[in-house]
A = this chain, B = another copy of it.
Amino acid sequence: MKGIRQLAKHLDISIGTVSRALNDRPDVNEETRKRVLAAAEELGYVANQSGRSLRQGTTNVIGLMIESSKETVENSDNFFLGVTGGLQSVLSRHKLDLLMLPCPNDEDPHEYLKRMVARRIVDAMIISATQRVDQRIDLLVKAKIPFVALGRSTSGGNHTWIDLDFEGVAACAVDRLVSKGHRRIAIAAPSNDINLGYIFVDAYRQSLERHGIAFDPALVIRVKSSEQGGYQAGHEMLRLDTKPTAIILIYELMAIGLYRRLNEAGIVPGRDLAVIGFREEPRGKFLQPSLTCFRMSLRDLGVELAETLLATMPAYAEHYPKGARNTIWPLELAPGESDAFSLDA
C-alpha cells in the first residue's frame, strides 16, 4: 500500500487533496500544501508515472529517435549528445523529460517508431536522419503526434522541420575556393539516398554553375562518412586524369583518412590541395594542417529544436510564438590552414 494513498493516510487527508497539493492546483489551503510537500519530501514520494499517464493521457516525455545503424553511428558522433543539452535546457522548464529512443539496427525504423508511438510512452517526438521519402513522417502525421523532423523531407505535406544550411555552406565553400583560384573542386559525399548527400551535392553543383564552372560528375566522390571514407576519397581522387586542386568533405572526420592517403602519395594538404570540411568538431583545429570548416553550436540547435517542438504541442504552444514551420540552421565559417593558399594564375 505505497503511493499517494499511503501519503494521504499518513497526513490524514484525502488523496484528492494530496494530489492537488502536489500538482499546484487551486482549492488547497496554503498550510495544507506545505504539509503535503514536506511529507512527500520526507517519505520520498514521487508520483508513479504509469498511473499519472493513464489518467492524464499524457506522459511528459519527449522522445528523440536516433538510428544506430552503422552508417549513422559513424558520422553521428557526439552530435546527439550535444543537441540533447540544449533540448533539455528548454524542456526541463516545462517538467518534460527527454528520452532517447535508439532504433535497433535490425528493426525497420518505421516499425520501431510505430511501436513506440502506439505504446504511447512519449507525448511528442523528434526524429532525425530523415530520408528524402520518409514513412515515419506520414506515420506521425496520421497518428497526430506532435513532432519535429531534424532534416528536411519531401514526405508528409507541410510538417515542421529544421535542417542545416547545406546550401549556404556549399555556396560559401565554393565561393571561397573559387576566389582563391580553384576551378576543379571535388566533393566527397555519401550517396544520394541519404538526404545530406543529395542536397549538399546539389547545392555544390548550383554554386559551381553560378561561377560559370561546369559541373563534372567525376568530381563527385561517393564514400562513407568516416575516416575510412576519407581515405577512400583520397584514393579515388588520385586516380582522376585531371586532378582537382581542392576538395570539399561532407564530414570532417574524413579529413583524417584523406590526409593519410595524401601523405602516402606525397601530397601536402594545405599546400598542394585545398581541403574544406563540413562540420567543425574540436578535432578539426588539431589536425595538421588544421581544417577549414563550418561551425555551429549544437546546444543552440537543441534549444531551437525544443522551442519549435513545443510550438507544435497544443499544451505548450501559447508560450512559444508560432515561428516558421521550417528553419534553415546557419553555420559559420571557421578558417583553418587546410585551404590557406591561392593558386597561381
Asked whether A82 and B73 contact (CB < 8 A) given A100-B100, A231-B286, the answer is yes
- Nearest residue (CB) in B for A49 is B119
Contact present for B53 and A66 (CB under 8 Å): no
| One of A83-91, A191-199, A201-209, A319-327 at the interface | A83-91
| Shortest CB distance A222–B (Å) | 19
A240: interface (CB < 8 Å): no
A46: interface (CB < 8 Å): yes
Asked whether A286 and B228 contact (CB < 8 A) given A78-B76, A85-B104, the answer is yes
A47: interface (CB < 8 Å): yes
* A residues 201-244 in Cβ contact with B at 8 Å: 226-228, 230-231
- Nearest residue (CB) in B for A116 is B97
Q: What chain B residues lie within 8 Å of A107 (beta carbons)?
A: 92
Asked whether A121 and B286 contact (CB < 8 A) given A76-B78, A81-B66, the answer is no
Contact present for B286 and A230 (CB under 8 Å): yes
Q: What chain B residues lie within 8 Å of A141 (beta carbons)?
A: none
| Shortest CB distance A19–B (Å) | 15
A20: interface (CB < 8 Å): no
- Nearest residue (CB) in B for A68 is B81
23 A-B interface contacts by CB (under 8 A): A46-B114, A47-B119, A48-B54, A49-B120, A68-B81, A68-B82, A68-B84, A68-B85, A74-B78, A76-B81, A81-B102, A84-B102, A88-B104, A97-B116, A99-B100, A99-B101, A228-B286, A230-B286, A231-B286, A256-B286, A259-B286, A260-B286, A263-B288
Best-buried of A50, A54, A230, A283 by chain B (most CB within 10 Å): A50
Interface residues on A, range: 35 or more
User: How far is A54 from B50 in the complex, measured between Cα atoms in Å?
Assistant: 5
- Nearest residue (CB) in B for A88 is B104
Q: What chain B residues lie within 8 Å of A88 (beta carbons)?
A: 102, 104-105
Give chain A's interface residues, CB within 8 Å of chain B.
44-51, 53-54, 59, 61, 66, 68, 73-74, 76-78, 81-82, 84-85, 88-89, 92, 97-102, 104-107, 114-116, 118-121, 226-228, 230-231, 253, 256-257, 259-260, 263, 282-283, 285-288
Name A85's contact: one of B49, B105, B257 (CB within 8 Å). Answer: B105
User: How far is A61 from B85 in the complex, measured between Cα atoms in Å?
Assistant: 23
User: How far is A197 from B288 in the complex, measured between Cα atoms in Å?
Assistant: 28
Contact present for B104 and A253 (CB under 8 Å): no
Name 9 extra pairs, CB < 8 A, besides A92-B106, A226-B282: A45-B118, A47-B119, A49-B50, A49-B120, A74-B282, A77-B78, A100-B101, A121-B121, A228-B286
Q: What chain B residues lie within 8 Å of A116 (beta carbons)?
A: 97
User: How far is A100 from B104 in the complex, measured between Cα atoms in Å?
Assistant: 13
Asked whether A73 and B68 contact (CB < 8 A) given A102-B98, A227-B282, A286-B257, the answer is no
User: How far is A88 from B102 in the complex, measured between Cα atoms in Å?
Assistant: 9
Q: What chain B residues lie within 8 Å of A121 (beta carbons)?
A: 49, 61, 121
